[in-house]
Amino acid sequence: MKYPQAKLSVAIACGGTGGHLFPGLAIAEELLHHNCEVTLLVSPKEVDQRVVKNVCGMEVVTLPAIGLSAGNPGEFIKCFWRSYKVSRTSFRNNPPRAVLAMGGFTSAPPILASKHFQAATFIHEANTIPGRANRWLSPWVDEAFVYFRETAPRLTNSSVSVTGMPVRFQFQPMDASTCRIALGLAPQRPTLLVMGGSQGAESINQLMIDAAPQLAAKVPTLQFLHLTGPEGMERVRKAYAAGQQKAVVQPFLTEMELALGAATVAVSRAGASSLAELAAMQLPAILIPYPTAADDHQFYNARAFAEAGAARMVGQKTVTPGILAELVTGLVSNEKEREHIRAVLRQRHVPDAAARIAERILNVIHERDAVAGKGTGSGSKTPIALEDTGLKEPPNQKSQPCMVSARPTMDTWNSK
């Protein structure tokens, strides 16, 4: 479909964590391809500010938002109000035709501010158990997009589409040797990637320090690519050096596609964005869900992958260095098992998720203009049907939007 020549302005609230930011960037890139003006609304957190330094062709607005916790309700409300005012000022200067919120604490202020500008509103929920912000916003937005089909009945919205999880275009299977050389690793040696999310995970760091000697004994050629987060990098690096093990240790990598491309197997948390990137890169993984994640959502994300055969899963409270060493050894040494997991991951990956969401946002804008009799310039006036976009959805997902009308109450999910 050809969209009008005049640029449409779309705002995306996607700050707070890499799991919100990177999918939002993937959708933003698709919208740029459709000649849109894109504004990213992010948080002051280091992960957001480091990544947005490298974006091109988009306006970036930093909201003074913080997450809500038991000890900061007053500060949360103050920062929420300030974020609302910053959003409203930004929208007054450049009124958006649509606002998409990716979940998290930067989501609500822009959605509320957009109501003053008659913008179409959307949310994307990445996890099987919706986050607090999206549970609260879902009755008030025009449409909701979800990664997991199980999420649809847990949102109070009459229009929920199972779209999959957007990942950036860089995430596709790559030559492992080339990726390893780029990261300073030996090109032919099996590689274990260890990552705890954009902030790292101290418990996984310690678990790997304790498991590394056993892994060295079981798979002497194994090398490590360990992303520690901002804390603990030197301690982890010294532990590998003491064991004379080949390891590249970094707090964080912007080029995560290289890290995933270099790996034979990964040890990972179970954030939705990480899972989507594992699926896109077809990388077998051992998932250790973050046990104190809100509503235990990482457990349910990991369980969905494990039950489908797309990953292995172990609980943080039950895993030991010996158990982890056995799991890693089993996957590294068994090519047939890894290929089976890769086949399942190929089925779960939705390569057109970002394009599908971008198309739907633009279609809604077009439909609104048609109803209002505005017209938006040149180009076709027939919206694209989502089922015509060539989307390949995971098993048990349909190729058209999943429209859900009967919903549980918000209290049902808050009481989990």
pTM, two decimal places: 0.79
- Residue 77: count of CB within 10 angstroms of its CB: 11
Residue 57 to residues 33, 149, 217, 280, 313, Cα–Cα distance (Å):
11, 33, 50, 25, 40
Mean pLDDT of the chain: 87
Spell out the domains of the chain, with CATH numbers in brackets.
Answer: 9-165+351-414 (3.40.50.2000), 176-348 (3.40.50.2000)
Average confidence (pLDDT) over 114-140: 94
pLDDT for 196:
82
The fraction of the chain above a pLDDT of 70, given in percent, is: 87
Residue 385 pLDDT > 70: no
Enter the tokens of residue 274. 């990480």
What is the pLDDT confidence band of residue 199, given thresholds at 50, 70 and 90? Answer: low
Q: Are strands 120-125 and 143-146 parallel, antiparallel or unpaired?
A: parallel
What is the pLDDT confidence band of residue 67, given thresholds at 50, 70 and 90? Answer: confident
Sign of the C-alpha dihedral, residues 107, 109, 115, 118? negative
Q: Are 252 and 219 in contact (CB under 8 A)?
A: no
Enter the tokens of residue 106. 């930067």
Tens digit of pLDDT for each residue in 217-266? 999 999 999 999 888 889 999 999 999 999 999 988 888 999 999 999 99
pLDDT for 165:
94
Enter the tokens of residue 130. 């919706």
Average confidence (pLDDT) over 141-165: 94
pLDDT for 285:
98
pLDDT for 405:
30
Chain-centre distance of CA 146, in angstroms? Answer: 11
